[in-house]
Structure 1
Amino acid sequence: MPLGEHLRELRNRLAKGVLAITVVSLMAAFYSQTLMSFLVHPVPRCTKGLGESTGGHCAVIAYTDLLSPFTTTVKVCFLAGVIISSPVWLYQLWAFVAPGLHRHERRYTYWFVSAAVPLFLSGAWLAYTILPISMRVLLGITPAGSANILPMDKVLDFIVRMVLIFGGAFELPLLLVMLNFAGIATGRRMASWWRGVVMGVFVFGAVATPTTDPFGMIALAGPIVVLYFIAVGISLLNDRRRCSADTDAELDDDEASPLDLTLEPIGRVAGVPAARALPANASGEDGA
Structure 2
Amino acid sequence: MRRSLDGSSVLSSDDLSDYDVISDGHQSLESSIADLSHVGTDGADIREPSPSRPARDRFDTVGLSPADIQAYVRRALPPDAGARYAADADSRTVRVYVDGVFDPFQARDALQLRQAKLAFPSVCLLVGVFADELCEAHRTPIIWAHVDRCEVLRHCRWVDEVVPDAPWTLDEKFLRAKRIDYVAVDEGSSVNPACDKERLKGYDLVKSLRRAIPTRRTNVLTSIDTRGLSLFVESTKGTIRGAPPQVAPARPSARISGDDDVSPFEEPKVDEFGIGIGV
Q: Which has the larger radius of gyration?
A: 1
- For this structure pair, what is the TM-score category when the shorter chain's length is used for normalisation? under 0.3
TM value normalised by structure 2 = 0.27
TM value normalised by structure 1 = 0.26
More helix by share: 1
